Amino acid sequence: MENLQSIEQFEQLKAQGQTIFMFSADWCGDCRFIDPVMPSIEEKYTNYRFVKVDRDEFIDLCVQLDVFGIPSFLVFRDGEEIGRFVSKDRKTQEEIETFIDGLK
């Protein structure tokens, strides 16, 4: 999974195609819990681009998007938000895949 480098990159990725932004932080135990399963999720959902957003590095973006709990996922298709899985709770691979399967 690639890491977000700038707000400009976020705006570009958000505007084109289908992108799943995973909001995370190095110190977040629940985020580390799902790290090992993310490669298999990425392999299963190749129609999405996956981008990790460091919550501490992009705190203003998190505030702007109302992302106050991590790990959290926001999904954009051609500039439009089509889904969000935002909470402070630990997420399982099954819950993440169910969320992605439910996107329209």
What amino acid positions are annotated as catalytic residues? 28, 31
Contact 53, 6 (CB under 8 A): no
Alpha carbon distance 65, 83 (integer Å)? 12
Q: Is 11 helix (H, G, I), strand (E, B) or coil?
A: helix
Residue 80 CB contacts under 8 Å (≥ 6 apart), including other chains: none
